[in-house]
A = this chain, B = another copy of it.
C-alpha cells in the first residue's frame, strides 16, 4: 500500500521552505501612481521638508504671538492689518510690532509672523484694524516647516505594502517613481488525463480544468502574477517538460493534482527529476489537503497542490500565499478579513489533524451565524457556497454549536 512518508505539521509547511527562499527576487522602478498594492524594495527617505513653508491651519490672521499676549474680550489687543497673503503665492509682507496679515487655511504666513489667530477670535474695528479677543501661543494654528516630514526622514520602510495614503505621501514629496519588489511569478501546471480546457464540452469521463484559474485568482489576490503554463496528461515526460518550462517562467512552481501517492501520481517524481531539487514534505497533517508536496529547486518553491478544489485552496493558503508574500519582501503579511460568528452546529474533528471547515454566514436576530458547508472536498461548489473558512487546531477534538468562531472571510 503506498504511504505518505514525510507528513509535516501545518505550521511547518511553509517554515521548511522559508529558510531556503530569497527574501526578495529583485526590484523594478514603478511610477508612484501605479504602485498600489506593491511592496517597497528599499527604505524610502524624504528628499525634502514637508511642508516647505509654515502653513496656516485656519482662516484668520497671521500675527506675532507676543502682540496678543494678555488679550481678552474685555481688553482686546488692537492689531493693524497690513494686507493679505494669497493662497499659493509668495508674499513680500513682513510684520512689524502690532501688525497682522490675512491668512487662509493652508496658506503662508506673513514674514516674521509665528502664529495665526482664528477669524472667530477677532472683531473688525475698521478697514485697517482688528481686535484680537484671546491670546495665541507661538506656533498656534500653524503647521511648521518639516512638521509632516523632515528631509532625510524614513517615510516608508522596506517591505511595506503600498496603500492609497502612501501614494499620497510619496507624491507630496515629489517622489514620482519608486523601487518596488518584483511581483513573484507563479507558474501553474494543471495535470490529469481527465481534463479538458474550459472552452471544451467534456466527453464521457472528462471534466473541465478549473484549478488553473482558481489558483490564478488566488495568486492575483496575493499580489503575485499568475503564469498558466499548461494542462498536461498523466504522462511523466509531458509533465517534466511542463515543469522545466514552469521553472523557466516562474519564481514559484505550482502543480495541481497528482500530489498523492498512487502510481498515477507523478508530481513528486516530476519535482524530484528537476535539477538540484529537494523535497521537504510529502503530506501535511490537515484535512482536507493532506496530499501536498513541498520542495525547492534553484531557490524556487515547488508546490504540489491536491487536485480537489477545496483541498487546493486550503493548501494554497498554507504554502503558496506565504511564499508569495515572502518573496515579495513583505515584512508583515497583509491582514485578511475575518468575522466572529456563532457556530450553528457541532463539528467533530480528529485530534492530530488540523481541520479546515468551510462556512456559510447568515444573520439571525442581529447575530452572525456560521453554518458549516459539509460538501465533499472534490466539489467546487462547496467553496462557492462558502463565505469563509474556520480552522480547528491540531489538538482540538471539535467545536460545539453556540461557540464563537473566527471565520476567515473569502
Name A residues whose Cβ lies closer than 8 Å to a Cβ of B: 1, 32-33, 36, 50-53, 55, 57, 59, 85-91, 104-108, 119-120, 143, 147-149, 155-156, 163-169, 171-172, 174, 176, 192-195, 198-199, 201-208, 210-211, 213-218, 220-221, 233-234, 260, 262, 264, 307, 309, 313, 334-339, 376, 378-381, 383-384, 386, 409-410
What is the CB-to-nearest-CB distance from A187 to chain B, in angstroms, rounded to a whole number? 17
24 A/B residue pairs, CB under 8 Å, sorted by A: A1-B119, A55-B378, A59-B264, A85-B205, A87-B205, A87-B264, A89-B205, A90-B203, A91-B205, A106-B307, A143-B378, A148-B381, A164-B214, A164-B221, A165-B214, A165-B217, A165-B380, A167-B216, A168-B383, A169-B381, A171-B210, A172-B207, A336-B337, A337-B338
Chain B residues closer than 8 Å to A148, beta-carbon distance:
379-381
Q: Are A210 and B172 in contact (CB under 8 A)?
A: yes
9 new A-B pairs (CB below 8 Å) besides A167-B213, A171-B213?
A: A1-B120, A87-B193, A104-B262, A104-B264, A106-B307, A143-B378, A156-B384, A164-B220, A168-B383
Cα(A50)–Cα(B202), bound, Å: 11
Contact B384 A213 (CB under 8 A): no
User: Which residue from B55, B204, B313 sits with its C-beta under 8 Å from A89?
Assistant: B204
A157 to chain B, nearest CB (A): 11
Interface centre among A87, A120, A147 (most CB of B within 10 A): A87
A-B complex: 6 closest residue pairs judged by Cβ atoms: A164-B217, A90-B204, A168-B214, A88-B194, A165-B383, A87-B193
Contact status of A207 and B106, CB under 8 A, knowing A88-B195, A202-B52, A337-B337: yes
Q: Which B residue's beta carbon lies closest to that of A264?
A: B104
Would you call the interface of chain A mostly helix, strand, loop, or mixed? loop
When chains A and B are docked, how far (Å) is the Cα of A98 from the Cα of B171? 77
Copy number of this protein in the oligomer?
A: 2
Q: A104: shortest Cβ distance to chain B, in Å? A: 6
Complex partner residue of A155 from B166, B220, B264, B384, CB under 8 angstroms: B384
Of B107, B156, B381, the residue contacting A149 (CB under 8 A) is: B381
Chain B residues positioned under 8 Å from A88 (CB to CB): 192-195, 203, 205-206, 233
CB–CB A217/B163 < 8 A: yes
Q: Judge whether B309 and A168 touch: CB under 8 Å.
A: yes
Please indicate the chain B residues that have their CB under 8 angstroms from the CB of A218 in the complex. Answer: 164
- Bound: A376/B171 CA distance, A: 19
In angstroms, Cα B89 to Cα A254, docked, is 26
Contact A199 B221 (CB under 8 A): no
Of B86, B147, B166, B203, which is within 8 A of A384 by CB?
B166
Known: A143-B376, A381-B155. A204 touches B108 (CB 8 A): yes
Q: A119, A172, A193, A214: which has the most chain B beta carbons within 10 Å?
A: A172
Separation of A176 and B201 alpha carbons in the complex (Å): 12
CB-CB under 8 A from A174, the residues of chain B are 198-199, 201, 208
- On whether A379 and B208 interact (CB within 8 A), knowing A86-B193, A234-B87, A309-B165, the answer reads no
- With A and B bound together, what is the CA distance between A380 and B168 in angstroms? 7
Report yes or no: B264 in contact with A192, Cβ–Cβ below 8 A.
no
Among B59, B169, B409, point to the contact of A383 (Cβ < 8 A). B169
Determine the residue in chain B with the shortest Cβ distance to A209. Answer: B171
How distant is the Cα of A409 from the Cα of B219 in the complex, in angstroms? 21
Which residues of B have CB within 8 Å of A108?
204-205
List residues of chain B with CB within 8 A of the CB of A207: 51-52, 55, 106, 172
Complex-state Cα separation, A2 to B370, whole angstroms: 51
Q: How far is the CB of A376 from chain B (nearest CB, A)?
A: 7
